[in-house]
Amino acid sequence: MEITAEQVRSLREKTGVGLMDCKEALKATGANMDKAVDYLREKGLAKLAKRSARAASEGLVYSYIHTGGKVGTMVEVNCETDFVAKTDDFQAFAKDVAMQITAANPTYIAREDIPDEVKEKEKEIYRNQARESGKPEKILDKIAEGKLEKYFQEVCLLEQPFIKDPDVTIKKLLEGLVTKLGEKILVRRFTRFQLGETSES
């Protein structure tokens, strides 16, 4: 039976196992995807879940206070194991993220965290601005979408340019760390404090 590259790729996505092992499992099970998954589990090769589904319940809470003590941040960064949480790379990332939040003042972690009504309100503002500047009605939505992308880069931590290297976003920085350390890593939450600031401001 001929095993296709698509079948191998699909099994790899389900199990996180190497391509050659996936191909062997498909051959052994007559290309039955469910049986191939079981075959790999029985051999102890399959990860219990893809990295994205792993529990990231370890990590640390990092605090950064800017010189002068007028502004600071507390951020929770999670990983899968206490071992990784103690590595220099992980702790350096947590520090960089805390400094980023302190300097760039994001409102959200990711664009998915922004309520739909906020996005729609922003788009409507951009449409009206474009309309008032004389732009044709048929391109208002396109202009608004472009400005919304810039809005995401301003208010979403993961989409902001890294303050130490503006050519890299925080998301890219995070992806590089995940690749290096081999664990799911995420920024869970943060709070930024500024002297004299009220909760309404």
- 172 and 76 part of one domain: yes
pLDDT at site 22: 87
Beta bridge partners of 61: 76
Contact residues for 196 (Cβ-Cβ < 8 A; gap 6+): none
Please indicate whether residue 198 or residue 7 has the higher confidence score (pLDDT).
Answer: 7
State the CATH number of the domain containing residue 15: 1.10.8.10
Mean pLDDT of 137-148: 89
Is the pLDDT at 201 greater than 50? The verdict is: no
Q: Is there a single domain that holds both residue 67 and residue 108? A: yes
Q: How many domains are contained in the chain?
A: 3
Angle at 191 between CA 185 and CA 192, to 5 degrees: 120
Query: How far apart are alpha carbons 199 and 201 in whole angstroms?
Result: 6
In a shared domain, residues 88 and 138: no
Q: pTM of the prediction?
A: 0.68
Q: Is the pLDDT of residue 120 over 50?
A: yes
What residue numbers bound the domain in which 36 lies? Answer: 5-48
Query: In whole angstroms, how far apart are CA 134 and each of 29, 46, 121, 146?
Result: 64, 58, 20, 17
The pLDDT of 162-186, averaged and rounded, is: 92
